[in-house]
Amino acid sequence: MLPFHAILTDRLELRRFSRNDLSAFQEYRRDPELSKYQGWEPTADEDALAFLIEQSDQILGPDGQWLQIAVTCIKSKRLIGDFGLCVRDSRRGIAEMGFTISRTIQRQGYATEAAAAILVALFGTNMIYLVTATTDERNRASISLLLRLGFELAKTQTAVFRGELCTEHTFEVSATQWYQLR
């Protein structure tokens, strides 16, 4: 099990969710274009609030359990997205991450800034040595982000997602690669 503490960057705070995040959370999570390649689907307010409350004290670990981290803009104090973290194999030090940033503020470097901070935090635990991320091959923005961060394509496979056949790419970056790039 890994602890999670709030992370501050130049423009962002990565923190636990709170009840006050519901409106902004629902705003971007109900965007059909944004959810197209995500593992989640829009939900009713009651279910979303229960999820936010559950995530507010969720731990990172045990293996296979996801923790969602709120991404907020320091200047506006507004929730702009979230990152999912999951320890896949604690014995081998493997974690997975996923990300969602509101389309209204994309292409401003927020996802890159948040992901870099999360990688520093994960690798800084000395318990995680490899981080993976899986995306649909059509999700060009996510692929570009992962490549900018130094992730490399590890495998490609055919999958069924939401009832449709698709091609998924799994990318990975090791702690050694990450620190060499910095």
* Pairing of the two strands 164-174 and 7-8: unpaired
Average pLDDT over residues 123-150: 93
Average pLDDT over residues 136-159: 93
The pTM for the full model equals 0.91
Average of per-residue pLDDT values in the chain = 90
Q: What is the pLDDT of residues 40-94, one digit of tens each?
A: 778 899 999 999 999 988 888 888 889 999 999 999 999 999 999 999 999 999 9
Angle at 7 between CA 142 and CA 153, to 5 degrees: 25
In the block, which residue shows the tokens 């959370």? 25
3-state secondary structure 93-147: CEEEEEEEECHHHCCCCHHHHHHHHHHHHHHHCCCCCEEEEEEECCCHHHHHHHH
Residue 131 has pLDDT above 90, yes or no: yes
Q: What is the pLDDT of residues 3-55, one digit of tens each?
A: 778 899 999 999 999 999 999 999 988 887 777 777 777 889 999 999 999 99
